[in-house]
Structures are given as C-alpha cells and as structure tokens.
Amino acid sequence: VRHPAEPWRIKSVEPIRPTSADERRGALAAAGYNVGLLPAELVYIDLYTDSGTGAMSDRQWAAVMLGDESYSGSRSFYRLEAAVREYYGYEHVIPAHQGRAAENILSRCLIRPGHHIPGNMYFTTTREHQELNGGTFHDIIVDEAHDPEADLPFKGNVDLTKLERLIDKVGAGQIPYVSLAATVNMAGGQPISLANLAEVRELTRRHGIPVILDAARTVENAWFIKQREPGWAERTVSEILRETCALTDGATMSAKKDSFANIGGWLAVRDSHLAEQARNLVVVYEGLHTYGGMAGRDLAAVAQGIEESVREDSIRTRVQQVAYLAERIAEAGVPIVRPVGGHAVFLDAAAFLPGVPREQFPAQTLTCALYLDAGIRATERGAVSAGRDPVTGENRYPRLELVRLTIPRRAYTQSHMDFVADSVIRLYAQREDLRSGLEFTYEPETLRFFQSRFQPL
Ligand code: F0G
C-alpha cells in the first residue's frame, strides 16, 4: 500500500515528547496498568482513540470564531441542521454533546424493560444505554465478523437468519428497533454493504421495526462501499452516504469521528413524533434542543467538518493511512484483523500473546507492553471492554481479544506510522518473554475499561 500524499499541509503544530523507559515504567504502575489512566503528556504517539482527537481544519477554526452563542435558535444550530439534512438526509436534527448522549436520548425514547435490541455487534456505550433502559442486546452480525482471519469485504453485515430467528422468538412488538453500526468498531472497523442494509430494511419493513444507524464512521463505510461493492464505484462518497442513511429511520452520531470535531454529536430521525419526544428529553439531559450540550462554536465546527468529511481526497487519505500502517505490521508476520478497517489497525492479542491466558487479559497486557516499549498508547478491545454479563455477573469473553491502534484524523504523519510499526514489530519479536498477564485491583461497575486498575501477575 502506498501512503498517498495528504490533501492538506500543516499550519499549526503541537509539540509532543518521547519519554524514557524509566519514566514509562513509573507512569504505567501509577496508572494501574491501564493506559487510559496515563497523563497524556507521558504518551508519545496517542492511538487510544480516533474520537475527538483529529486536527480541525483552518475552515473549522474559522467557523469556531463565527459560532453563534445565542442560547436559543443559534445560527450555528441552523447551519448544523442544514448540513445533516443535506449530507445524511434526515429531517429532524437534535444536537447532543457526543454520541453516547444521543444514544441515551434515543434509548430512553424507545426502549422499555423486556425489549430486545438486535445489532451488528455491540458497541460499549450503545449496549450500556440499551441495558440501562431494560433492554437485552442480541448480536446478529455474520459469524465471520468474530473471526479475525476471515478476509471478507463486508464483515459488518447482518446475518438475516439470526435477525429473523430473533423476530420469530420474541415477536416484532418487543423489538423497538434494529441498531446498526457502519462501520463496526468492535469487529475491526468493518463495513456493512448497501445490499445487506437493503435486505435488513426489507425484512424489518415487513415487521414494522425501525432501523437506527450508528453513523459515527459511516463516511468511512461509504468509502469501502465505493471500493468494494459492485455497482457503486462510479458514485460519490456523498451519494453513497445519502443512500446508506436512506435505508434507515434515524441515526445517532458521534461527530468526534468522521466529522473532525473535538466534541459534538446529534440524533436525527424522520418520525416527527419521535423527534418531539427526543427534543423533550434533550432539554432534560443535554441543554436546549438547539444546542444540546454544545457551544455554538462547536455546532459550527461540526457543520463545517461534515462538509469536509465527504471529500474523496480526504477520506481516501484517511483510510489509506490506516492501511499503510497495517501493511507494514502484517508484512512482519504480526497477526492483525483482516481486512483492515477504516479507523484503526486491530492486533489479534490472543494470537500475539498465546502464552497469556484469557483470564489474564492478553489485550490489556499488550497495551501495557506497547506503552513500555515506545510510549505508544493503544486501546484494549477484548474481555476488559466486554465487561460482565448483567444476569450472571460473569466476565464476558468475546472471541475477539484485540488491541486497537486507532489513528486520529489528520494528526499524525507517515513517519509516526513507521515509528509505531517498528515498535509493534520489535515487541512481536520479543513475544516469548511475555507469559503472564494482569489481574484487577479495582473494577468499576459500568464501562469498566475506562477506569479499572490492574496489577501484573
Ligand atoms: N458508536 C461508536 C461506533 C463509537 O465508536 C463510539 C465512540 C460511540 C458510538 C460513542 O460516541 O464517544 O462520542 O460518546 N467511540 C470511541 C472509541 C470512544 O474510542 O471507539 P461518543
């Protein structure tokens, strides 16, 4: 894979500093072997997330200066509303300060105790809100999505038999909506195809079940459709994005991803009754329905970011930078999830560290090793992220035990990617030395991966 030349140049820089091995050892122990608890200043290359960590453009910063801070009816809100309507195609737009805030509003509107919510693999915050409202999540993604080596173009697809079986079993009336992500974060940033989405649409239409999209990375999904799905190569990313949304009834959005914003999100729906309900709740949890927890300048930055996100050169550079890092790592034999997704390279930690048992959290252990080696911060996406089963209280052990090297948008250069690849390859060569993992010393009840602490075994 060639790293394409970026369609931008750097106008403003932020210094970052490499650390010494001693410094890192001390910092990691103080952070309870959870890289998420490290002070960011002690991280050299921060691949913890692609959420809110991208570089805003000069146009976005200009939009920030032009943001309208009126409490109600801000000009910046109308700009955002117009951008969502134009690029995503939903009529009613309700701002929320980030993705999970939109999920909270949506889940409270639609989910009642005893409901069942099918989805193409879980996402941490999304499932949390479904469960908090008394719902049960059901994974209806294709089996191959759970196999890191299954190299298929659309591993985010829904298995329609699984969906149909669930509808037969619990009844359509107990399914408030189907929750679809594009791309699927926890599967490795895998896309869903338009053909599959159309089939889901058709099945759910027959049963009167709405489809709600998690649109955080749907521009990346559109790029993969253009590359891989027959019949779409000649269409623009913008058209494919519209087409994707047209097959759904609404969306929750974390604007911190595709839209290059440091904060922001929205909920958008077609149904005016649901929109009214959501507006009433957003006032309780976020702020007035024309700012939803964001400053006017944030609304403006998101609106500008949406317009930039669908440009072909922009999305191409984004996805190919991820592919470049993946190829360098894979060339050295390091096990990664195939195919490479849109926002991150996922290391198969179970295969990387076969000597560390699942109960000792190989993915968490690998994030620690990566930090110690060169100050790189990655994310655990395995059993620690999966949490405990709310009924049995047992640890959930998903088949995928992954470490995510998440690439912030427009923030790091090719030499940074080379630096990361060198560190991963070096660690892989030393993997025999890593035979023991970690145990919890503190485990929060919800979304435990963010704040848990560990000790080495
Ligand atoms: N949906 C998906 C698919 C996500 O990846 C995220 C966040 C959210 C919803 C929630 O959005 O953070 O704005 O509240 N993902 C980040 C990550 C945190 O690192 O993957 P949020």
**Mean per-residue pLDDT for 131-147?**
97
ipTM of the complex: 0.99
Sign of the Cα pseudo-torsion (215, 221, 226, 232, in order): negative
Residues above pLDDT 70, as percent of the chain: 100
Going by C-alpha positions, the residue among 302, 192, 241, 275 that lies closest to residue 88 is 241
What is residue 4's predicted lDDT score, i.e. its pLDDT? 80
Give the residue whose CA is nearest to atom 15 of ligand 1.
Answer: 51
Instruction: Collect all residues with Cβ–Cβ distance below 8 Å to 191 and sequence separation of at least 6.
Output: 153, 154, 155, 156, 182, 183, 184, 220, 221, 224, 225, 228, 341, 342
Share of the chain above pLDDT 90, in %: 97
Looking at residue 446, what is its pLDDT? 86
pLDDT (0 to 100) of residue 390: 87
Please state the φ and ψ torsions of residue 231, each to the nearest 5 degrees. Answer: 95, -10
pLDDT > 90? residue 262: yes
Cβ neighbours, 10 Å, residue 262: 18
CA angle 268, 106, 388 (to 5 degrees): 135
φ, ψ dihedrals at 155, nearest 5°? -75, 0
Residue 49 has pLDDT above 80, yes or no: yes
Does residue 164 carry a pLDDT above 90? Answer: yes
Q: Read off the pLDDT of residues 192-209 as tens digits, 9 standing for 90 and up.
A: 999 999 999 999 999 999
Domains with residue ranges and CATH for the chain: 21-50+312-456 (3.90.1150.10), 58-309 (3.40.640.10)
CB distance 213 to ligand 1 below 6 Å: no
Query: 417-443, pLDDT tens digit by residue?
Result: 999 999 999 999 999 999 999 999 999
> Are 181 and 156 spatial neighbours (Cβ–Cβ below 8 Å)?
yes
CB 286 within 8 A of CB 105: yes
Does pLDDT of 1 surpass 70?
A: no
Q: Is the CB of 377 under 6 A from ligand 1?
A: no
Per-residue confidence (pLDDT) for residue 372, from 0 to 100: 98
> Can you give the pLDDT at residue 242?
98
Question: Would the CB of 49 count as within 6 Å of ligand 1?
Answer: yes
Catalytic sites, residue numbers: 71, 123-124, 214, 257, 381, 449
pLDDT tens-digit readout, 320-370: 999 999 999 999 999 999 999 999 999 999 999 999 999 999 999 999 999
